[in-house]
Structure formats: C-alpha cells, structure tokens
C-alpha cells in the first residue's frame, strides 16, 4: 500500500537519523575500538569487551527510542495509509517476509537459539552466559553481536570513508607494533610487564596472535582498495598503508599471519576486475610482501633483537628470498612500461572498443594462475601426505623452511596438535549426544579440558588449554554441531550476500576480503573480543549493502 508524502518524508528523516547513529557506532568499532585501552595490557581483554558491550547497549537504546518516536509520529500523521507499525507487522507475513530477510538472518537466529539452549542445559550456566571462564565469548557477547548485526544491516549506509579511517587506525597500530618489535615501547606499555612476558604482546592489541589477526585484516582492507582505486592520491595512500600493514603483520611473529597472507593472495584475483591494471597491481602487492620480508631480514640484525620461532624468520634465512623483491620490482617496472605503451591502442574499458589483446591478456594470466594454483595445492597435498602417512621422503621435505609445520603430531603448532586431539577425544568419547549437538556451554573450553585432561596437559607441556586455538573446533566443543554449522552459515551466507553487491559497489570487496582472511587464519587462532567485533562489523557492512540496494527494506520500513 502506498504511503502519503508526509509519511515518506518522515520515514526518510528518521532513516537518515538512524544511519547517522549506526554510522557513529561503525566508526567507533572500526577506528576507536582497536586502539582503546584502559590499563595497558593488564586488563585489555575485559576493558575492550566492556567498551564493545557499552556501545552496543547505547546503539540499541538510541535506535529503539528513535523507532518508538517514529511510530508515535507516524501514527499521528497516518492519513489514509497504514501506520509504520502495521507495515512492520505486514513484513512478517509469509508472502512478504522473503523480501525483508536474508538467509544470514536465519543462521544468526539459529545460532542465538542454539547457544541459549546450550547455556540453559550447561552445568556452568554463569560461565556460559558471560564467557568469564574463557574469552568473554559467551551468550551475552553473541547477543551483542546480534544487536549490532540487526542495527548495521538495516540502518547503515556504506561509505568508503569509514574504511579509510579504519585503515588509518590500523596503520597506527601496525607502526606501534613495528616499534615494539625493536623494543622501543613508544607508549610504555611494557612497564611493569615481566621481562619473560614482554615478547608475547604488541601494539594496542596485546597477544601476538590477536595482533596479527587484526593487522592481516587491515592489510586485506587497504590492499583490496589499492586494487580498485582510480584516484592517484588515494592509490598512494593505500599502497603506503599496505606496506605498513604487511611489515606490521610480519613483524608480529605469529604464524596465523601465514595463513592470512596465503588466503588473501589466493582469492584476490577472483574478485577484482580482469584488466591489465589488475594484473600489474597484483604483482605490486606481491612485491610489497617481498619487500616486507627484506625489512624483516634487516630488522633481525637489530642488536637487541631476541625474537625467535616465526615462519617468516625461517623464510628469510633462504638467500634467494632476502633479495627476490629486486628482480620482481624490475619485472613490475617492465610491465608498467609495456602496458603504458599499449595504452594508445588498447583500453581496459570493455565499453570503449576493447581490443582483443586487452581481453586476452588478463584472461590468459588468470587461467595460468588457476593452473599454478591447482598444481601448488596438489604438490602441497602430496608433501603433507608423504610426511604424515607414507613417510618415504621425510628427510627431503625437512629441508623446507619451517618443515616442522608439515608434520602433524602433538607438538605441531605450539602444541595445537595435542590440543586438538584432546578436543576430538572429548567430543567423540566423553560428550553425550546432546552435548555433541549443543556443546558443553559457550566459551567453556577451559572447563572441558581441565575436567578431562588436566594431568596429561600439565605433565606433557606444563600448560592448560583455555581455547582450542582453532575457532571451528572451539565452536564444535562449546556450541556443538548446531552451533558450528550456524556459525559457518552466518559467514558463508553473509559473504555470498555481500559478493552479489560488488557489481553495485566495487569497494565492498575490501570488507569481503578482510572477512575471508580472518576466516582462513581462524584455523589456528581464537575468537576474542579484542578484535573479533571488527571482523563481525566488516561482514555486517557487506550484508548492509544488500538492503541498501534492495529498495524495499530500508526505503519503506524504518
């Protein structure tokens, strides 16, 4: 049913106000949140979670108050058209609901319901709700994620400036982390931290694994924007920021970053336009990574450097890797000259008389890339199979840098192998069918491991696992099969929704790639509210673009 002009005008005003409120929240999460601290590293987890929690509550209160005010004013000016409340309720009718929800909404609701069931039937209800036995990733935290999801996807209008400021904050955190690598401690965060623990922290983020799961998202954001930017000054800004983020991530000395870089460079070509410009810029980003490795090689010569144990550190011990950026840079310069000579005759614009070579060259490079990718996966798969099953050429493979990462045993990944074995043993042998479906209770991994394998953990490695250090295994143990499937459903479906909107807004590839690299590195890392709200918010932005383009949800309904 049509609305009157007064109703349309009122709806537009309130939609604009709602977008402003949510825009402030998104800015705070992407820009202020990553660098917020209260008492340095000593309470960083609790302080950062409290910061996120309070701003979610403020967002909910403001939008709820705005919605109530809109309903009141709309009712008074309804004329002959249905009120906003009536239109809102009509949206939930079977014939209309498909126009107002996406499958991500369903997965999210299922996740909240399954976590609620898990909490109710857990033997540790308080710990499950608040997550205070782990990393505050309990039911309460997920309710906050859901609140921010609904708010952002239904009221936020994406603008690239949000990402520009997020990149600026990320570059600041990376520079801080680089200075910490050289033990310069610019803001004196290491004061009162024991000497033995100082090497575990960096920047405003804290733990090195957490630091790099944030910085690799920053690298993905800025590098993706570099790939599609047309203005020279922004292009320079994104390139410099990419280099800072790459160096900052590598200097974080956490191997989850290896998976993050791998995931980014593997998937990037599938998202950007297939043009000569994209080919050249992709090579430039590879060169940025290689230059970062050279900086690490130089940095490791710093007199007071005591860092040990990184895959990147092992990589730069290979002579050719140290200086490979030099011939690669020469190659890029040669391609730049060649492509510019071709410019008068050939165009990247398919609507501007695209010549055959312009069409063939990027496609040829893409096909070659796919072939190399397939061969690479086959080779790596064979090496892993031989190292762990047939064991025929183990001595040969051990000559590869960081070859210990190719052998899966209890020592693999700083005892992750042992940790995961304990997790699957609990799931298959110690859990009831109900616990397999709904888990032991949100964020109760520490309780599970202590109750079942405490003596073995302490005797073998002198430690107790408070997380699986694999988000997917962690969700399987704490939230069960339903929780894990729901979690995967949220982000897989969210990415699908976001990817469909690239044609409407090319800059959406930036948050998409940031989400993908986070999900890849999550195979060896944990969800933690020091950085995870940034990851969630980036995914929400991609889904929000769907509703912005839909033309029904946000234009007809507040």
Tell me the mean pLDDT per 10 residues along the chain, length 558. Answer: 59 87 97 95 95 97 91 68 60 65 94 97 95 94 97 93 96 96 92 86 93 97 95 94 97 92 95 87 95 92 72 84 88 84 52 54 81 92 88 81 80 90 95 96 95 92 91 97 97 94 92 97 94 96 84 38
DSSP state of 466: S
Integer Cα distance of 32 and 405 in angstroms: 36
HSE at residue 29, side-chain half, CA atoms within 13 A, is 31
Query: At 333, which helix (H) or strand (E)?
Result: helix 325-342
Integer Cα distance of 540 and 535 in angstroms: 9
Q: Please, are residues 251 and 296 in contact by the beta-carbon 8 Å criterion? A: yes
Where are the extended beta strands (E) located within 18-61? none
pTM: 0.92
Query: At 61, which helix (H) or strand (E)?
Result: helix 44-76
Integer Cα distance of 494 and 541 in angstroms: 10
Q: Under 8 Å CB-to-CB from 255, ≥6 apart: which residues?
A: 310, 311, 405, 413, 524
- pLDDT of 238 reads 97
- Sign for the pseudo-dihedral over CA of 517, 523, 524, 526: positive
DSSP state of 156: -
How far is the CA of 176 from the CAs of 108, 163, 236, 405, 522, in angstroms? 36, 20, 21, 29, 23
Distance of CA 475 to the CA centre of its chain: 17
* DSSP string of 72-139, one letter each residue: HHHHHT-TTSPPHHHHHHHTTSHHHHTTT--HHHHHHHHHHHHHHHHHHHSS-HHHHHH-TTTTS-SH
Residues paired with residue 206 on neighbouring β-strands, in sequence order: 202
- pLDDT of 83 reads 61
Quote the Cα angle for 64-69-75, to 5°.
125
- pLDDT of 347 reads 47
- pLDDT of 77 reads 65
- pLDDT of 318 reads 82
For residue 503, which of 271, 319, 270, 238 has the smallest C-alpha distance? Answer: 271
- pLDDT of 150 reads 95
CA dihedral 227, 231, 232, 235 (to 10 degrees): -30
């Amino acid at each position: 049913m049509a609305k009157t002009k007064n109703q349309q005008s009122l709806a537009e005003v309130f939609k604009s106000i709602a977008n402003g409120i949510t825009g402030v929240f998104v800015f705070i999460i992407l820009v202020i949140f990553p660098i917020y601290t209260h008492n340095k590293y000593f309470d960083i987890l609790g302080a950062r979670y409290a910061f996120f929690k309070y701003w979610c509550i403020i967002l909910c209160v403001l939008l709820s108050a705005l919605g109530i005010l809109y309903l009141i004013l709309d009712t008074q000016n309804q004329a002959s058209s249905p009120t906003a409340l009536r239109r809102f309720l009509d949206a939930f009718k079977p014939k209309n609901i498909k126009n107002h929800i996406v499958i991500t909404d369903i997965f999210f609701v299922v996740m909240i319901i399954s976590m609620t069931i898990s909490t109710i039937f857990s033997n540790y209800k308080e710990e499950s709700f608040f997550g205070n036995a782990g990393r505050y990733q309990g039911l309460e935290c997920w309710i906050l994620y859901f609140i921010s999801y609904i708010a952002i996807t239904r009221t936020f209008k994406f603008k690239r400036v949000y990402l520009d400021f997020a990149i600026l904050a990320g570059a600041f955190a990376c520079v801080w982390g680089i200075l910490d690598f050289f033990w310069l401690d610019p803001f004196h965060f290491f004061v009162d931290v024991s000497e033995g623990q100082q090497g575990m922290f960096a920047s405003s983020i804290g733990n090195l694994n957490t630091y790099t799961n944030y910085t690799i998202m920053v690298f993905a954001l800025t590098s993706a924007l570099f790939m599609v930017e047309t203005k020279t000054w922004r292009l320079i800004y994104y390139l410099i920021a990419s280099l800072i983020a790459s160096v900052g991530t590598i200097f974080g000395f956490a191997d989850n970053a290896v998976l993050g870089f791998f995931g980014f460079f593997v998937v990037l070509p599938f998202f950007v336009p297939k043009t000569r410009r994209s080919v050249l810029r992709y090579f430039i980003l590879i060169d940025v990574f290689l230059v970062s490795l050279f900086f690490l090689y130089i940095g490791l010569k710093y007199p007071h450097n005591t860092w040990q144990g990184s895959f990147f550190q092992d990589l730069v011990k290979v002579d050719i890797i140290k200086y490979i950026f030099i011939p690669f840079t020469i190659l890029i310069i040669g391609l730049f000259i060649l492509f510019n000579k071709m410019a008068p005759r050939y165009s990247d614009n398919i609507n501007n008389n695209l010549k055959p070579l312009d069409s063939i060259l990027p496609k040829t490079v893409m096909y070659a890339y796919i072939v190399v990718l397939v061969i690479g996966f086959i080779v790596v798969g064979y090496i892993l199979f031989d190292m762990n099953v047939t064991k025929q050429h183990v001595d040969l493979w051990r000559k590869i840098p960081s070859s210990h990462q190719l052998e899966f045993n209890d020592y693999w990944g700083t005892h992750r192998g042992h940790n995961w074995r304990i997790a699957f043993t609990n799931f298959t042998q110690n859990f009831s069918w109900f616990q397999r479906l709904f888990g032991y209770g949100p964020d109760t991994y520490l309780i599970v491991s202590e109750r079942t394998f405490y003596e073995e953990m302490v005797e073998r490695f002198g430690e107790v696992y408070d997380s699986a250090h694999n988000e997917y295994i962690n969700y399987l143990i704490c939230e069960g099969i339903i929780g894990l499937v729901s979690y995967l459903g949220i982000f897989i479906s969210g990415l699908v929704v976001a990817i469909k909107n690239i044609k409407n807004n090319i800059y959406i590839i930036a948050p998409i790639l940031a989400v993908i690299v986070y999900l890849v590195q999550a195979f060896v890392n944990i969800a933690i509210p020091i950085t995870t709200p940034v990851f969630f918010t980036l995914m929400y932005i991609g889904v929000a673009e769907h509703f912005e383009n839909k033309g029904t949800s946000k234009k007809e309904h507040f």
